[in-house]
Amino acid sequence: MISSETYENLLKRIRDRRRNIKWFIDNLEPTGTRLTNFNIICGAIATVLTATSAIGGEPLMDALGITDPHSLTWRILFATAALFSLLSTIAANLYKSHDIASRLGKAQVCDAKLEGLETLLELDQIALKEAATQYAQYIAEISFITGSRFLKLPSALDWVKGEINEPKPNQVVGSTISCSGWVEGVSPECHFWLAVEANDYIWPKGL
């Protein structure tokens, strides 16, 4: 007979992996967005600069003093256009070389699969052996997440959130203090301390 502890261990692995995937997506997606936007903006500026004559015609060329292709202004204008074009190319190649779009898609699909597997385990609708096999297959699809250069994978504390509701900030208290609050995302390896600070001293108390 398979113990409930074995099920819990697999569930913990799934939840930890899903946290890592979420962390990966939350870090990589903004990077991809920034590279894409940077590419678009630099490409647009380069296009505008190189198309100055077509956009403004001869009056604009005369106003800028770039009718003479040997003038300093002409050289600066097209050197700037070349620089923005280079930056656009670099951003596009970085996005492509790191395979950002594909990796984001795979991570999101894998997270959805793991969520379904987690639900089946919680409802006892799948055998442990089959669940373990599926888990191994799913994480093999996202092997690139471990050790990714885009992020530092989270620790157990990164998922912990909480707040003290009482006492309120700057509230005057006596020698006996009534405390209340909430916390979520706690893993078994986490241990909480409540610390009281007064007169430049801190008194910690384990919970």
| Integer Cα distance of 47 and 57 in angstroms | 15
Per-residue pLDDT of the chain (207 residues; tens, 9 = 90+): 455 678 888 888 898 889 889 988 988 889 889 999 999 999 998 888 777 665 555 565 555 555 555 666 677 777 888 899 999 999 999 888 888 889 999 999 999 999 999 999 888 888 888 999 999 999 888 888 864 444 444 555 555 677 787 888 777 877 777 788 777 766 666 667 777 777 777 777 766
Does residue 61 contact residue 140 with C-beta atoms inside 8 Å?
no
Q: Would you list the domain boundaries of the chain?
A: 4-145, 156-206
Residue 23 has a pLDDT of: 87
Residue 120 has a pLDDT of: 92
Residue 162 has a pLDDT of: 75
| Integer Cα distance of 159 and 157 in angstroms | 5
Tokens of 207: 């919970």
Cβ burial 146-156 (10 Å sphere, 16+ → b, else e): eebeebeebee
Cβ burial 41-64 (10 Å sphere, 16+ → b, else e): ebbebbeebbebeeeeeeeebeeb
Evaluated on CA atoms 165, 170, 174, 176, the torsion sign reads positive
Q: What is the pTM of this model?
A: 0.58
191: left (phi over 0), alpha (psi -120 to 50) or beta: beta
